[in-house]
Amino acid sequence: MSKRKNQADQEDPDGDSEDTPTFIDVDFDFFDLNPTIDYHAIKRLLDQLFGVDAGSLSTHALTDLILSQPDIGTTIKTDGEESDPYAFLSILNIGVHNDNVSIKLLVEYILAKSKADNAFHESLSTILRLVLCERLINMPVPVIPPMYRMLIDEIKDAVEENEPFNFTHLIFISRVYKLTPEEEEAMAIVQHQSGKGSKRQKSQNPNGAMNERSVDGVYPFHPEDEEIQKFASHHLIFPYSNAQPRDAESFGLDYGWTLAGVLGNVFQPPEGA
């Protein structure tokens, strides 16, 4: 049984008309994490999240750890519970799992990257929870808020059962991409020609959503990251450690990581809720 259902319109890439795209209805079902079925899909999503650094972060062990707590977190599927998830959301207690090889490697990685912000670096010594959320490209953004609302309920239930999900700090890991001025100009021309331009300068992210033009050319990969940053006490952006040098002939986008440190339990439901 799924947790709930969400319906969204998806553009049909095989539509006949260039000016009038056709849409198909897609049902997105929300499920608990399933250790029997979800391993390979979750690992692929983690590899996508961590990019070229995934090989040094033991994503196979991290996948096992995520699936070891199936009552916390959600997957999204379209073909029933036996199918692969297209997205997932989970939260991990770093203190409880600090002996896990994947957590050790990830903490070392985050500590090394956070040295650029001393206050952020020092705050990482407090009790932390790691929020991991990733999805396939072109997944509609409206399916994400329900996942976080369900996570709030699951954390509330876990706390009532004295499970270790009462916390003071959260770390959100996500992806960013960087555009050169030339790439931004080329993208702006394409958007204008497709009728997506506006008086305000915007950039379309790889998911199709529109971002305000960035001063430094760095943009969040997922639109919800901008909302999370509003609550963040610290925020860092950094390149992948194993990224290859780029030049004028490099193909594709220049990706990196973003870390958002949130002070306080933003998942705590309001009193009376």
Which pair of structure tokens corresponds to residue 58? 């033991």
CA distance 112 to 16: 51
pLDDT averaged over every residue in the chain: 81
Residue 159, φ and ψ in degrees, nearest 5: -65, -40
Flag the least confident range among 16-20, 76-80, 192-196, 259-263. 16-20
Residues 38, 78: contact at Cβ < 8 Å?
no
> Comparing 76 with 256, which gets the higher pLDDT?
76
Judge whether residue 256 has pLDDT over 50.
yes
Q: Count how many Cα atoms sit within 13 Å of the Cα of residue 28 in the half-sphere of its side chain.
A: 22
Average pLDDT over residues 33-49: 96
Question: Can you tell me whether residue 149 is helix, strand or coil?
Answer: helix
Which pair of structure tokens corresponds to residue 246? 């780029």
Position 273 scores a pLDDT of 42
Position 130 scores a pLDDT of 92
CA distance 74 to 153: 12
Position 60 scores a pLDDT of 97
Tokens 């750890």 correspond to 65
Position 30 scores a pLDDT of 97
> Comparing 169 with 248, which gets the higher pLDDT?
169
Nearest CA to 57 among 124, 125, 111, 108? 108
Residues 133, 144: contact at Cβ < 8 Å?
yes
Which pair of structure tokens corresponds to residue 103? 């957590």
Helices 101-113 and 59-67: crossing angle in degrees, nearest 10, is 120
Q: How confident is the model at residue 270 (pLDDT cuts 50, 70, 90)?
A: very low
Q: How confident is the model at residue 267 (pLDDT cuts 50, 70, 90)?
A: low
Judge whether residue 118 has pLDDT over 90.
no
CA distance 135 to 31: 14
